[in-house]
Chains A and B, each alone.
Chain A
């Protein structure tokens, strides 16, 4: 077993556990573990299963998209504990938008209901006949918590507006703030940026797009006509990109820098 890969798997487990706030649920997404083979994923899940968890779902085969690891529900989820967990799921809906990997918004019927509302979502319990009652409740909670935003699925809240703002825990959710449009000419790759070049998803997207396009052509033109903001890490990413392309015999040119009506104070310029 690849030790770094196992550490990565354990990290994903821990991150998912922390993100969803559920001690009884953890996901491993194959997309997050591109280097892991199915056997490794199984091993990661089984290792967790040995620590009092129960493996469920299609863990075998390369087509398994995710593995759900459930703790043994038997004797663990008394009514009080389940109620407290249900309370956790009944946080008020924030007026926040959804980032690329936020998830965890509890919008479906089950989580909107009072008390053990999640258990009332009968449709979610389909196919779970083998589970015991406590497991059915937790499974229903889990399924209900995976509801998509109503605005997207056109269900209960068809006019739900996606807006930016603080997330469920008061933090800003990661949003894809940078739109990239690329065009490869005979000698040069042109990437047109729109939005904000900021640390996180935006910088990662820019790096991925550049890596994808610069396998053969190392000459890149970044058109920044519609870039409204750039932070320290974003500027650092541009500097790194410039350095790496130049080291490979190519280059990076910026063009059409975004216009902004702002008085420019030369007093802030310092020289070497």
Chain B
């Protein structure tokens, strides 16, 4: 049974290991600063499936953005419900994700679907932000994939 770091496991499972650099020791991490900043990741030029995320927490939105971007989607995030409606109209996403900090009522979802009847709306459970990051992340990506499959 291999010894695996808990945090590195979370980063690997959520595919974020390449986002934040990790080092074995403090000395190595300090020394790495002298090498200069790493080049930012290049995003593919092809159009990717778009997802709009809405939640009241900036931390959770940052997590959703980096998680879904690394999973191959183009992600737009906002904290404002009216901005979310504007983003849905402007970007034409395939999936809209409502975070636990929002109130996604049936009427709101119906309004969103008026423009695109195939639009998948996912409402995250209330314990999403407090669940283990790797578990919550993998579950969300699986939900997004199954929702997109159902659309096709």
Using a CB–CB cutoff of 8 Å, the interface residues on chain A facing chain B are 185, 187-188, 190, 198-199, 203, 219, 221, 223-224, 227-240, 242-243, 246, 249, 251-264, 268-272
Contact = CB atoms under 8 A, between A and B. Distances in A.
Given A237-B59, A261-B1, A228 B6 contact: yes
B79 interface: no
Contacts of B62: 236-237, 239-240, 243
A262 B6 contact: yes
Smallest CB-CB A-B distances: 6 pairs? A236-B63, A257-B5, A236-B59, A253-B29, A260-B6, A235-B133
Given A188-B30, A230-B132, A263-B1, A257 B22 contact: yes
Contacts of A234: 59, 133
11 contacts: A236-B59, A236-B61, A236-B62, A239-B62, A239-B63, A240-B62, A255-B29, A261-B1, A262-B9, A264-B2, A268-B138
B24 A269 contact: no
B37 A235 contact: no
Interface in B20-66: 20-26, 28-30, 32-33, 37, 57-66
A234 B132 CA distance: 9
Interface of B: 1-10, 12-16, 19-26, 28-30, 32-33, 37, 57-66, 70-72, 128-134, 136-138, 141
Nearest to B130: A231
Query: Chain B binding site: helix, strand, loop or mixed by DSSP?
Result: helix
Contacts of A251: 33, 37
A269 B20 contact: no
A243 B15 CA distance: 17
Contacts of A246: 37
A254 B22 contact: yes
Interface hub of A224, A238, A262 (most chain B Cβ within 10 A): A238
